[in-house]
């Protein structure tokens, strides 16, 4: 079965890597905005009977979602056999509960919508906290990949004397796994978030780790305030300037500046979102998952008909 990979704007290097690593065709697409801000999508490659892989990492999702939806719907109408979304960063996972009266669980609404227009989803370390697994909210087969083994390999090679520090209890799941794979000790801080850019962290029991290089590990670095607060705390405690390792480099607005001012020695991220801090390549992991998921879909169900 022939497979075509299409890149949503900004995802060209991911799409090229997926096509090269899975021996698929790199397809052509036109995506642009009309003067009134509406989206225009045109598929320039043959569609009927083919499987499609859509490369679309979903940071800043609101601008991307309509083109993605229009693309998947167009492919379906033109007779695509199966459509797999490769979204190394999966948006809308953090509003996974009602925190204040009047809110909705947008993680669930988003998942319900995406499940209506693609047949399978591949992502890396989605922010699973109160949602136990993607299948609890997505109604399609999902491949949930972990960056931990590759982060651990990087640490083993570059910083074998590290102590890993998670900035909050939510990070324990990633930090403990990376630590066990890298053979490093770890600890987790207590975080209090008072607003989007107002975060404080508590003093941890880290005296035992003096002499090691502190490495802050988090899944998402968004405003950078969580990592910056943890970094300041460690340097105030007399530790060497920490290094930060994040999976998803959202790095919104002045995040890099906030990290720099906090004294962070260096930030290394995985290439789930393209950024100058990318230092850990997950494309081979994503390509292997793409082949696996397409095979699974081929075995489990005939191509879906347009409703």
Catalytic residue list contains 50: no
List Cα–Cα distances, 210 to 29, 201, 241, in angstroms. 53, 19, 12
List Cα–Cα distances, 206 to 79, 158, 171, 209, in angstroms. 58, 22, 17, 5
Q: Which is nearer to ligand R5P, 171 or 277 (CB)?
A: 171
Buried b / exposed e along 193-227 (16+ C-beta atoms within 10 A): eeeebebbbeebebeebeebbbbbbbbbbbbbbbb
Q: Which alpha helices (DSSP H) does the chain contain, by range? A: 12-22, 61-77, 106-117, 148-158, 172-182, 225-236, 255-262, 283-300
Q: Is residue 223 a contact residue for ligand R5P (CB under 6 A)?
A: yes
Q: Is residue 222 a contact residue for ligand R5P (CB under 6 A)?
A: yes
Mark 180-209 with x for binding to ligand R5P (rule: CB under 6 A) and - for no binding: -------------------x----------
Closest approach, Cβ 229 to ligand R5P, in A, equals: 8
Contact 87, 106 (CB under 8 A): no
Give the whole-angstrom CA distance, residue 231 versus residue 259: 8
Among 221, 245, 267, 268, binds ligand R5P (CB under 6 A): 221
Q: Is residue 219 a contact residue for ligand R5P (CB under 6 A)?
A: yes
Helix (H) or strand (E) holding 99: none
The 3-state DSSP class for residue 235 equals helix
Closest approach, Cβ 143 to ligand R5P, in A, equals: 21
Stretch touching ligand R5P by CB under 6 A, among 83-91, 178-186, 224-232, 290-298: 224-232
Contact 173, 212 (CB under 8 A): no
Q: Is residue 231 a contact residue for ligand R5P (CB under 6 A)?
A: no
Q: Is residue 269 a contact residue for ligand R5P (CB under 6 A)?
A: no
The tokens of 144 are what? Answer: 């949930």
DSSP-assigned letter for residue 135: G
Q: Which is nearer to ligand R5P, 11 or 226 (CB)?
A: 226
Among 19, 81, 201, 220, binds ligand R5P (CB under 6 A): 220
Among 51, 143, 170, 177, binds ligand R5P (CB under 6 A): 170
Closest approach, Cβ 124 to ligand R5P, in A, equals: 14
Catalytic annotation, pick one of 50, 59, 82, 191? 191
The set of catalytic residues is 191
Binding site for ligand R5P (CB under 6 A): 167-168, 170-171, 199, 218-226
């Amino acid at each position: 079965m022939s497979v075509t990979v299409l890149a949503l704007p900004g995802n060209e290097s991911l799409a090229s890597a997926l096509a090269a690593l899975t021996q698929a065709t790199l397809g052509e697409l036109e995506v642009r905005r009309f003067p009134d801000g509406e989206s225009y999508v045109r598929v320039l490659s043959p569609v009927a009977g083919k499987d499609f892989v859509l490369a679309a990492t979903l940071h800043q999702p609101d601008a991307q979602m309509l083109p993605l939806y229009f693309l998947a719907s167009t492919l379906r109408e033109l007779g695509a056999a199966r459509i797999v979304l490769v979204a190394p960063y999966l948006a809308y996972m953090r509003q996974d509960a009602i925190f204040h009266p009047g809110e909705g669980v947008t993680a669930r609404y988003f998942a319900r919508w995406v499940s209506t227009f693609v047949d399978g989803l591949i992502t890396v370390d989605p922010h699973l906290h109160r949602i136990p697994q993607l299948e609890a909210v997505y109604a399609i087969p999902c491949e949930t990949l972990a960056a931990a083994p590759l982060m651990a390999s990087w640490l083993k090679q570059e910083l074998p004397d590290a102590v890993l520090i998670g900035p909050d209890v939510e990070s324990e799941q990633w930090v403990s796994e990376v630590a066990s794979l890298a053979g490093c000790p770890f600890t987790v801080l207590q975080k209090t978030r008072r607003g989007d850019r107002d975060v404080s962290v508590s003093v941890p029991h880290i005296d035992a780790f003096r002499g090691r290089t502190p490495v802050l590990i988090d899944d998402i670095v968004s405003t950078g305030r969580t990592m910056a607060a943890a970094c300041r705390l460690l340097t105030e405690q007399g530790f060497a300037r920490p290094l930060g390792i994040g999976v998803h480099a959202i790095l919104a607005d002045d995040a890099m500046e906030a990290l720099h001012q906090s004294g962070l020695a260096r930030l290394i991220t995985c290439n789930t979102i393209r950024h100058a801090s990318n230092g850990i390549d997950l494309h081979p992991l994503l390509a292997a998952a793409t082949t696996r998921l397409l095979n699974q879909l081929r075995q489990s169900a005939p191509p879906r008909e347009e409703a």
